[in-house]
Amino acid sequence: MADEDENMIKCGKVGRSLKECRFFQSPFVEISDNAYSMLVAKYGTHVVCLPAVNSSGIDEIWLRRWQVVGGNCIVQVVIDDEESVLKAAGVIQEHFSSTVSAIDIILPQADNSNLDDQMYQRLLKSIKTLHTKFSCPIACKLMISHNDIDKTIRMAEQLHHAGCKVILLHGRIHGDHKPSVLKKIHWGLIKEIRDSVSKETVVVLEIGCQSVHEVERCLAFTGVDGLAVAEPLLWNPSFFLEKRPSAVQMMKDYTDLCMKCATQLDIAKETILKFSGYILNRFSGMKDRLVSATTYEELDEIVVSLDEELGKLSKKQVKSLEKLQQRKERYRMKKIRRREETMGLTSNSGESDDILSEDRLTKKETKQARKEKVTTALLSGQRVAIDLSLEEHMTDKEITKVAGQIRRLYGSNLKSPQPFHVYLTGMDRNGRIYKECTRQNEGFEKYLIDITERKVPDIFESESIVYLSPDSPNILGELDEHKVYVIGGLVDHQVIKGVSLGKADSSKINTARLPIDEYMQKGEPGNHSYSRVLTINQVFDILLKFHETKDWVQALGSGVPKRKGFILKQSREISKPNLVS
């Protein structure tokens, strides 16, 4: 018993030092190059994760390779059997006692995601055994269940009671090595989990982000102890630093570490291209020299040559080049996020089977599946109409914008797991809007939309119509399948108040506005308009997201542009007024 208490005290001491570490390399991005792990640690990453290794594979060769890394690190151990994992933990504790922050326990072929009850109980048992016998903290990955946050909290508490000192929260589906799907819209859920889990447990969150400033904001908001990033560290080893070292300095430091670690030359060249390839491409022949290099001496010569070329540029030109490189990296991250959204992985209310299945379909099959869903919606889906009879209030430039917004809302409807039955009403086929739509949108006539010259009151019964207007005194609460929701097809740069409301009142039609004031508030001071007037496609996307999730927090959080200056209220601040459907 005394030994157990001593181990717990030791573990607690290590845990407290680990709490001082805020910046982590994600274990889901494998850096098998120990020199690059050392470079990442040198440039501000507090804790690096060594590649997963089977418990029976921790031998002298493995020790010689990874002992050189130094600094704080997490060793990922895949359990072969109980005996070998105990032996592996003993070896790690003996030889890495000053550098290992935690041992991350992984079940074979499971990655601790989507575990059945029997496997999960086995994991808890292994953690408890290791915690009892060793002082080194035990870590474990935990996938966040967006459908059931209470389940995530319950599992985190069970891990804590078993002796797990470090929990890595992530959003990767079934442990797949796909980009992190946790974004700003999920921060509220993360905060709820962190507040519910024991403060003795170090909670680390893997998140997709574009800058260290976003990391700092996430830490402050969610209260987690640390953040782990994946892909950005492959492009920029100094991601966590405020000021990025020059490409020359990073290449020099990395090649020095490669020679110290005896890194294979081909691995070194491939790694350099990942974090400095953009700069090398800007100078004729520099990349070709790197690719054809056969010794580290040649790499040193390339570094010197690059330094000379950059020295010929003005400070302004160098700064511009660095900014272009950073912009390229941000574009990469945005591309990853767009791919996540296409796969349907960012929904806070749960992953749609229909959307997830698209990742396994061919492009042709995906297109056909989407068309079938929209065709079904034309028969029985929720009705939404765009009133295009307001053409007289717009200039030609504004008409052009209307056509573009119609194209975007049609694209959103095609991709939605629950598309609307969309009407374009009051569209004169000889008018400017129709002509602009056919000019901008190839195949517009074949859109899966009801296009008619008739106006809203001539198509639908007046009691079933709800005209959406930011000036309405009524607040939209639910979507009634028996009603049709009308969005004014108006782009008005002068923001003439009351156009859509006056039109509805003159026709004695019910009106409503989106509950922006009820769920959002003004954010930090800045160059914001704080306007409730949204574009046609923005209103459409908000309705579409609410139709999918039945949650105004998600719908407004993802649909109201940040430039408007609004932020979501905390749940306790949200009022529940009398809403209309």
Lowest mean pLDDT among 230-234, 439-443, 571-575: 571-575
Contact 161, 133 (CB under 8 A): no
- Which residues have a Cβ under 8 Å from the Cβ of 535 and sit 6 or more positions away? 401, 405, 491
**Residue 40, SS3 per DSSP:** helix
Contact 384, 540 (CB under 8 A): yes
pLDDT reading at 252 higher than 90: yes
Q: Based on the fold, state whether residues 262 and 130 are members of the same structural domain.
A: no
Instruction: Answer yes or no: is 111 within a domain.
Output: yes
- The whole-angstrom separation of Cα 372 and Cα 395 is 37
pLDDT reading at 425 higher than 90: yes
- The whole-angstrom separation of Cα 91 and Cα 47 is 20
**What mean pLDDT is predicted for residues 238-250?**
90
- The whole-angstrom separation of Cα 122 and Cα 484 is 53
**Residue 553, SS3 per DSSP:** helix
- In this structure, what token pair is assigned to residue 325? 């490189």
- In this structure, what token pair is assigned to residue 158? 């069970």
Last residue of a domain, one of 244, 272, 301: 244
Contact 344, 417 (CB under 8 A): yes
**Residue 91, SS3 per DSSP:** helix
- The whole-angstrom separation of Cα 329 and Cα 327 is 5
Would you tell me how many other CB atoms lie within 10 Å of the CB of residue 372?
11
Instruction: Answer yes or no: is 573 within a domain.
Output: no
Q: What is the DSSP letter of 563?
A: G
Last residue of a domain, one of 213, 244, 275: 244
Confidence of residue 11 (pLDDT cuts 50, 70, 90): very low
Q: Based on the fold, state whether residues 90 and 167 are members of the same structural domain.
A: yes
CATH of the domain at 378: 3.40.1280.30
Q: What is residue 504's predicted lDDT score, i.e. its pLDDT?
A: 56
Confidence of residue 484 (pLDDT cuts 50, 70, 90): very high
pLDDT digits (tens, 9 = 90+) for 504-537: 555 678 899 999 888 888 877 777 777 888 999 9
* Overall number of domains in the chain: 3
Confidence of residue 578 (pLDDT cuts 50, 70, 90): low
- In this structure, what token pair is assigned to residue 481? 């399948």
Pick the residue with more confidence: 344 or 446? 446
Confidence of residue 563 (pLDDT cuts 50, 70, 90): confident
Q: Based on the fold, state whether residues 255 and 321 are members of the same structural domain.
A: yes
Instruction: Answer yes or no: is 347 within a domain.
Output: no
Query: What is the number of residues in the chain?
Result: 581
Q: Based on the fold, state whether residues 231 and 254 are members of the same structural domain.
A: no
Would you tell me how many other CB atoms lie within 10 Å of the CB of residue 509?
19
Q: Based on the fold, state whether residues 295 and 378 are members of the same structural domain.
A: no
Instruction: Answer yes or no: is 297 within a domain.
Output: yes
- In this structure, what token pair is assigned to residue 165? 């000192």
What range does the domain containing 292 cover? 245-342
Q: Based on the fold, state whether residues 272 and 371 are members of the same structural domain.
A: no
Q: Based on the fold, state whether residues 537 and 518 are members of the same structural domain.
A: yes
- The whole-angstrom separation of Cα 271 and Cα 276 is 9
- In this structure, what token pair is assigned to residue 274? 């990942």
With b for 16 or more beta-carbon neighbours within 10 A and e for fewer, the 90-128 pattern comes to ebbbeebeeebbbbbbbbeebbbeebeeeebebbbebbe
Give the range with max mean pLDDT: 76-80, 411-415, 493-497. Answer: 411-415
Lowest mean pLDDT among 93-102, 169-178, 231-240: 169-178
Q: Based on the fold, state whether residues 411 and 557 are members of the same structural domain.
A: yes
Q: Based on the fold, state whether residues 255 and 237 are members of the same structural domain.
A: no
- In this structure, what token pair is assigned to residue 177? 């090595």
pLDDT digits (tens, 9 = 90+) for 322-335: 888 888 877 777 77
Q: Based on the fold, state whether residues 155 and 285 are members of the same structural domain.
A: no
Q: What is residue 530's predicted lDDT score, i.e. its pLDDT?
A: 79
Instruction: Answer yes or no: is 436 within a domain.
Output: yes
Render 466-503 in DSSP notation, one character per residue: EEE-TT-SSBB----TTSEEEEE----TT--TTHHHHH
**Residue 450, SS3 per DSSP:** strand
Q: Based on the fold, state whether residues 368 and 235 are members of the same structural domain.
A: no
Q: Compute the CA torsion angle 297, 299, 305, 311 (nearest 10 deg).
A: -120
- Which residues have a Cβ under 8 Å from the Cβ of 191 and sit 6 or more positions away? 221, 222, 223
Q: What is residue 62's predicted lDDT score, i.e. its pLDDT?
A: 79
Pick the residue with more confidence: 9 or 430? 430
Q: Based on the fold, state whether residues 395 and 293 are members of the same structural domain.
A: no
Pick the residue with more confidence: 12 or 460? 460
- In this structure, what token pair is assigned to residue 107? 């079940």
pLDDT digits (tens, 9 = 90+) for 206-221: 887 778 888 888 898 8
Last residue of a domain, one of 210, 244, 278: 244
Would you tell me how many other CB atoms lie within 10 Å of the CB of residue 335?
11
Q: With 0-12 CB in 10 A as exposed, 13-18 as middle and 19+ as buried, what is 60?
A: exposed
Instruction: Answer yes or no: is 97 within a domain.
Output: yes
The pTM of this model reads 0.58
